[in-house]
Structure 1
């Protein structure tokens, strides 16, 4: 079991702890704040309710969290040290001196700094590489990695194993890439409020209702490429390049944060979202991010591609009571309704992916479908036996009731973490030629694999199979 030492248990340190823990690492955390354990626990609870919901496979078993009384206790024997203390260079140097004395040969410190260059952080001689995340660390995949090449090379595979996207920077700059963009937008927003042009709510609406949605899935340059039409980027630059010389923005000027401006921003922010607590806003943010990221994973665009690539490395399959596990996943918020539990359509989707898992098991996978053959659903019956809430880990086992000729009849059992039965899904499928769209026998290897499973599962009880709608035994 790998172990990470997290030094600093604030918002970022807590997020790192959650990211490591939910990816199977043990975590030793040190923060002199007496409230550190409670604060990290709250972050971990939010992460448990959101990160597993991004995946269609289960994450590794959660690691163990240990809150340490001393920095030495946390660092000793750690495979990875993540520093997330306050953004004060002298404090970081003091902490690095303590950590460096405890590092094994070849060990290094990963810093969460939001702006300092690695060479500045390493000025006292400690081996430091910048691994700068974005909040919430347990959901957003981007980490900017900068520093000595040999340390970057060590950091990259670890970050990727956590399901994150390391943006490696060969050239050191203050504030890196992401924060430079955020600062430019922040500065312009301050001027708009200072000059009475816009309110905090109007500025946020301009982002979330417009260009922010585009940036989430394509970024800046691909978006502008589309704006150029069929002629592409060159056309865009020709049309809109001259406007860069127009005095639209004040990106190089900084407004004075005097009392009047601070009060204006504070009052407007209170009016905009003061009716919600910070905890409520954090949950809203996480729920929205899960929905957006699950949407992006369908096309593997942007962060969605990172999730799909990480998921491919997660363990899948296995058996329960002699039946194959065809799906295992946490319930995302997008599967829940206004009653707070999993809705009817989500059970059908879960059954669909379990059927897909069984198809792959018998050889009717993506390659088989691409060759022109597949199974089409003819009939489905779902029994809802227990309430299921967001974040619940559901495991589906599949019994082949019939697997001869053109027919494939399956019985899915949806199990909760304690093994109880939450639902059953019975589905009948016909093997189909995708060219003629007519039923036909499966290819011999698929037919044989299906018959073998049907024979193995024959004689097993399948309570609820074959019943009428509303029938309960």
Structure 2
């Protein structure tokens, strides 16, 4: 049975809602009076199609069909879920809900993207209030999973549960908020940081860039994977949350911020927080929480490093400086092309390095050899590069996270369009962990076909290959899968 969602208001949030439903197999019907709405949503869809499928290790459902309609009545016809994302003006909200209620199916769920209003306010002019609720997302809606769901005292509990099931089915995390409050939860937290940020800039304490750096290089990374209270539980050490509050609770009376109106940390509130923290995280020891935190931080920061962004740019710069300090390698013998520690996110379910990471390490070694012969970023930008035509990896021994590994490379052949490499991966104790054999062909990036390399590339490669002729033929070179030892 085809699932249909209606999106009323196709701006930044509405367009991203459309993408989230569409790419999860729902047909999407859009109403927005903006004559540019179809173009704008189409561009948002382009970004979503690029990004959202990358989150999953499985093929996503077949994309639904999207259609644009001239009236709200046309858009909501047949929809089982309706998301309102019109401007934050109560008069417009009331008009919109009246039009929706007049035309939609009587059991359709109606969610509002509002960050400001409560369900009571939104439904105040509607006779049937039971299916209207706040479903406040975070941009980009097609990537960030959180949705604050507020039914308040007006939405029917069964409608709220149905809403949460729908949102869960499209890969979101619906957070049920039991009590109506202006701004819900997340925006109230953001508002407090925003207000203090305005004061810090206003008072000349920092610039906007410095303030953003304070978040993205520090506590923002911790918040991303443990939130506020679990982070502070760890900060309390082995004594946990009670110790943290006892140590830092008195600072609430210090004039550290402009936001001085805080609840009294009496015994009742302290016990409430400590008990809730125990329920949230008490199944883990502090050391276990630290290891979970560290693994998450490593994974996130390495992902940021791949984009040379935020905290990842610090790591990228550090790596570049470390590499430069090593200088040029000796090319007369085996060339050291990789020297690194196995990171935490390279492990598989058996507790040792994932087989794909062996290929990554050998790929890094190949990239380094390309740099050494002059096939660097500047050369590639000019239109020439080497493509790997064939690879053979032998997995010989195990290696775990934290182990130091090296890769040494032998140039078996370097002539004309071909570069034949043989890599040896070893542990710090000298154990041979794996070998990788690669045949690369030089290509023109314009024609995508084999072509001779530039003279200076070939000259350097030939010189290294000639020097390596004195080395022994690598054991295992030319082997095929299943060949007897």
**What's the C-alpha RMSD, in Å, of the aligned pairs?**
4.1
- 1:93 is aligned to 94
TM-score normalised according to structure 2 size: 0.56
**Candidates 183, 198, 201, aligned match of 1:193:** 201
Once the two structures are superposed, what CA deviation does each residue of 1:65-103 show, in whole Å capped at 9, x if it has no partner? 111122111111112111000011111110111110112
CA displacement, residues 205-262 of structure 1 (integer Å, 9 cap, x when unaligned) = 1111111111111110111111112221111111111010111111269xxxxxxxxx
SS in 1 for 2:104: coil
Whether the aligned pair in 2 keeps the contact of 1:12 and 1:84 (CA below 8 Å) is yes
**Partner deviation per Cα, 1:329-384 (whole Å, 9 max, x = no partner):** xxx999899xxxxxxx9xxxxxxx9xx9xxxxxxxxx6xx69xx99989997999x
| 1:210 is aligned to 2:218 | yes
Match of 1:138 in 2: 142
1:39 corresponding residue in structure 2: 40
How many aligned positions are there?
Answer: 311
Give the superposition deviation at 1:153.
0.7
Which position in structure 2 is the counterpart of 1:157?
165
Q: Which has the higher contact order (CA 8 A, sep 6+)?
A: 1
Counterpart contact for 2:80–2:107, Cα < 8 Å: no
Q: Secondary structure at the match of 1:153?
A: helix
* 2:252 match: 244
Check whether the contact 1:225–1:236 (CA below 8 A) recurs between aligned residues.
yes
Contact 1:114–1:179, Cα closer than 8 Å, also in 2: yes
What residue in structure 1 maps to residue 319 of structure 2?
none
**Equivalents in 2 of 1:13, 1:26: separation in Å?**
15
Aligned counterpart, 2:72: 71
2:229 corresponds in structure 1 to: 221
Distance 1:143 1:300, change over 3 A: farther
Range with greater deviation from structure 2 (135-144 or 223-232)? 223-232
Q: Which residue number in structure 2 is paired with residue 182 of structure 1?
A: 190
CA contact (8 A) 2:389 2:438 kept: no
Name the SS for the 1:215 alignment partner.
helix
Local SS of the residue matching 1:226:
helix
Over 3 Å counting, the alpha-carbon distance change for 1:101 and 1:377 in structure 2 is closer
Q: Does 1:102 pair with 2:103? A: yes
| Alignment check: 8 A CA contact 2:135 2:150 kept | yes
Deviations 1:150-199 (A, max 9, x none): 22111001101111111101111111100000111111111122222222
Shift of 1:56: 1.5
Residue 292 of structure 1 aligns with which residue?
A: none
CA distance in 1, matches of 2:178, 2:115: 17
For residues 297 and 2 of structure 1, what CA distance do their matches in structure 2 show? Answer: 39
Q: Note if contact 2:390-2:438 (Cα within 8 Å) is conserved in structure 1.
A: no
Quick one: distance in 1 between partners of 2:166 and 2:172?
9
> Is the 1:380–1:428 contact (alpha carbons within 8 Å) kept by the matching residues of 2?
no
CA distance in 2, matches of 1:250, 1:101: 47
Distance 1:179 1:196 in 2: 25
Q: Secondary structure at the match of 2:25?
A: coil
Report if the CA contact (8 A) 2:27-2:64 is conserved: yes
Normalising by structure 1, report the TM-score: 0.57
> 2:335 corresponds to which residue?
none
CA distance in 1, matches of 2:244, 2:293: 29
Q: Which residue does 2:266 correspond to in 1?
A: none
Q: Is the 8 A contact 1:83 1:110 kept in 2?
A: yes
Structure 1 regions of 5+ residues with no counterpart? 254-295, 305-331, 338-344, 346-352, 357-365, 384-421, 435-466
Aligned residue for 1:143, secondary structure, equals strand
Counterpart in 1 of 2:439? 469
Give the Å deviation of 1:469: 3.0
Q: Quick one: distance in 2 between partners of 1:99 and 1:109?
A: 9
Tell me the secondary structure at the aligned position of residue 439 of structure 2: coil
Deviation string, structure 1 residues 288-313 (Cα, Å, up to 9, x no partner): xxxxxxxx999789x99xxxxxxxxx
Native 8 Å contact 2:80 2:109 kept in 1: no
Q: Equivalent residue of 2:227, what SS?
A: helix
Native 8 Å contact 1:377 1:428 kept in 2:
no
1:425 is displaced (CA, Å) by 6.3
Specify whether residues 123 and 8 from structure 1 end up closer, same or farther in structure 2 by C-alpha distance, changes over 3 A only. same
Match of 2:81 in 1: 80
Q: Distance in 1 between matches of 2:48 and 2:307?
A: 17
